[in-house]
Amino acid sequence: MPRQYFFTSESVTEGHPDKVCDQISDTILDALLAQDPTSRVAAEVVVNTGLVLITGEITTKADVNFIKLARAKLAEIGYTIADNGFASDSCAVLVALDEQSPDIAQGVDSASETRVELSSEELDKTGAGDQGIMFGFACNETPELMPLPISLANRIARKLAEVRKSGEVNYLRPDGKTQVTVKYEGNRPIAIDTILISTQHNPGVTQEQIKADLMKAVVIPCFADLDLKPTEATKFLVNPTGIFVVGGPQGDAGLTGRKIIIDTYGGYSRHGGGAFSGKDPTKVDRSAAYAARHVAKNIVAAGLADKCEVQLSYAIGVARPVSLLVETFGTGKIDEDKLTDLVEKHFELRPLGIIQTFNLCNLPADRGGRFFQDVAAYGHFGRNDLDLPWEKTDKAELLKKEAAAL
């Protein structure tokens, strides 16, 4: 009999302090790339009670008002009321930025980040913006080819923010966390064991009322289109301490890049350790992680594996990956060495090639000045609510056809 076990993933809402920082960082990135697609950006944000600090390294021809951007994003998230302890129009916003290190910049040629088709030799001239390892993952547990626990945790977190903003549950405040435990038998999800929601709220609202309202307005709608649903045996926990009034940056400090597991696969797959938000696409922590997801998703979509994890590694200033590993955990339909050959043949994994394949430097301008800020909350992968180029399964049929001929 296959082994039974439990796996848990968590997510947070856009009002969580760390996610506030991610979104401000990527709002800055969007604004800079929209004006100057060759901008070099490593924007870091810190928030605390009454304070936003914008720091990091930026080299750009763009002219933006960082303070105005931060306040507008805070207001969009929902920090507009002073009694939350943190409000967009009254917090202090400090800016302490440097230019990108010339030692890093020398390894990254910015002259060719356009839609123009470049030769292989030209692509080799633009190296990675840093060394590092990146992982991409996909599995057939959900239609979007994501692990079920993180898919559900993100879905519930997004719905929690939606009912807050619409006023359907009008006592909610911006900060919140979700967590879902799924019971597995072998590789197959068989039950929703536990759903946990911790949400900031106005004073005077009882735990019992919040639990009843969230079951009706958040949990049940989130499972409406899914075959696997909560049952009477599913444990539903809401604000386990009883009260969650003080939250957001008033309750905890926040920092860009502290929710990297939520950003990716909820711990179900490995993670290279690099954060995404605030980094321009020459930083392979971001762009190569997107490319690795694209590879893994197309392999699973082609039916060549039930699970697929792709690892890439890079050296600063060097265009071609130092290593490529394709792992299918015993679920592959063809030999992994042959899968690796197909990946090398059909996927562009050099930094400038990735940028051009996904049009990463031009997307903020093409989409009205915002793109990266929209993936800065609720996950960078498996997003059916956004048109993300690395989520396309545009190479699945080609892989399937060539694999059949091997």
Residue 283 bears catalytic tag: yes
**The pLDDT value given to residue 126:** 78
Q: How many CB atoms lie within 10 A of CB 406?
A: 10
Cα–Cα distance between 342 and 164 in angstroms, integer?
46
**The pLDDT value given to residue 110:** 46
Identify the active-site residue in 30, 36, 175, 285: 285
Write down the pTM of the prediction.
0.95
Would the pLDDT of 104 be above 60? Answer: no
Q: Of 188, 190, 160, 153, which Cα lies nearest the Cα of 176?
A: 160
**The pLDDT value given to residue 218:** 98
Contact of 169 with 194, CB cutoff 8 Å: no
Residue 252 bears catalytic tag: yes
Contact of 295 with 145, CB cutoff 8 Å: no
**The pLDDT value given to residue 116:** 54
- Give me the chain's average pLDDT, please: 93
Identify the active-site residue in 19, 155, 350, 383: 19
Identify the active-site residue in 44, 141, 306, 402: 44
**Quick one: average pLDDT of 180-196?**
97
Q: Per-residue confidence at 113, pLDDT binned at 50, 70, 90?
A: low
Residue 395 bears catalytic tag: no
Residue 229 bears catalytic tag: no
**The pLDDT value given to residue 166:** 97
Cα–Cα distance between 104 and 246 in angstroms, integer?
41
Tokens 């901008």 locate to 39
Tokens 């021809």 locate to 61
| 60-64, 240-244, 287-291, 371-375, range with the lowest pLDDT | 240-244
Q: State the Cα angle at 42 between 40 and 43, rounded to 5°.
A: 120
Strand, coil or helix: 325:
strand
Greatest CA separation found in the chain?
66
Residue 297 bears catalytic tag: no
Terminal CA-CA length for the chain: 34
Q: What is the DSSP string of 286-318?
A: HHHHHHHHHHHHHHHHTTS-SEEEEEEEE-BT-
Residue 291 bears catalytic tag: no
Identify the active-site residue in 71, 73, 283, 383: 283
Residue percentage of the chain with pLDDT more than 70: 94
Identify the active-site residue in 14, 18, 141, 306: 18
Identify the active-site residue in 62, 105, 191, 253: 253
Task: List phi, psi (to 5°) of 227.
Answer: -75, -40
Residue 293 bears catalytic tag: no
Identify the active-site residue in 177, 201, 286, 395: 177
Residue percentage of the chain with pLDDT more than 90: 86
Residue 19 bears catalytic tag: yes
**Quick one: average pLDDT of 146-174?**
97
266-322 pLDDT, tens digit per residue, is: 999 999 999 999 999 999 999 999 999 999 999 999 999 999 999 999 999 899 999
Identify the active-site residue in 252, 336, 341, 348: 252
Residue 31 bears catalytic tag: no
Q: Per-residue confidence at 245, pLDDT binned at 50, 70, 90?
A: confident
Would the pLDDT of 117 be above 90? Answer: no
Residue 258 bears catalytic tag: yes
Identify the active-site residue in 40, 71, 258, 297: 258
Tokens of 367: 């989409």
**The pLDDT value given to residue 108:** 59
Would the pLDDT of 58 be above 90? Answer: yes
Would the pLDDT of 261 be above 50? Answer: yes
**The pLDDT value given to residue 16:** 97
* Rg of the chain (C-alpha set): 22
200-240 pLDDT, tens digit per residue, is: 999 999 999 999 999 999 999 999 999 999 999 999 999 99
Q: Per-residue confidence at 123, pLDDT binned at 50, 70, 90?
A: confident
